[in-house]
Homo-oligomer: A and B are copies of this chain.
Amino acid sequence: MNSYSPEKDELLKRLRRIEGQVAGISRMVSDDRYCIDVLTQVSAVTSALQSVSLKLLDAHLAGCVVAAAREGGPEADAKVKEASDAIARLVRS
């Protein structure tokens, strides 16, 4: 069990599709396809990965942060800190 269990299948499906898209970009580069066309595909994959990040973050907030806050202990602060650090990495990546 983990925070993203309800969306595990959906996440795996997306990740496999992203893996295939990256393989497709390798083929485009091997075939000397036009740089801007390759770039368009890379941007599409970057957006798809960001959607995966947003789903995972959502799961962390709705799962880990809320659960820790409900338990009432000091753990909630640590979970919020993890979320904040992950958001900062996401915004700056």
A residues engaging B (CB < 8 A)?
1-5, 8, 11-12, 15-16, 18-19, 22-23, 25-26, 29-30, 32-36, 38-40, 42-47, 49-50, 52-54, 56-66, 69-70, 72, 76-77, 80, 82-84, 86-93
What separation, in Å, do the CA atoms of A60 and B34 have in the docked complex? 9
For the complex formed by this chain, how many copies does it contain in all?
4
Residue in B1, B36, B50 whose CB lies within 8 Å of A46: B50
Query: Do A62 and B77 touch across chains, with their CB atoms under 8 A apart?
Result: yes
Residue in B2, B12, B29, B58 whose CB lies within 8 Å of A4: B29
Query: Do A66 and B65 touch across chains, with their CB atoms under 8 A apart?
Result: yes
Residue in B11, B29, B44, B89 whose CB lies within 8 Å of A40: B89
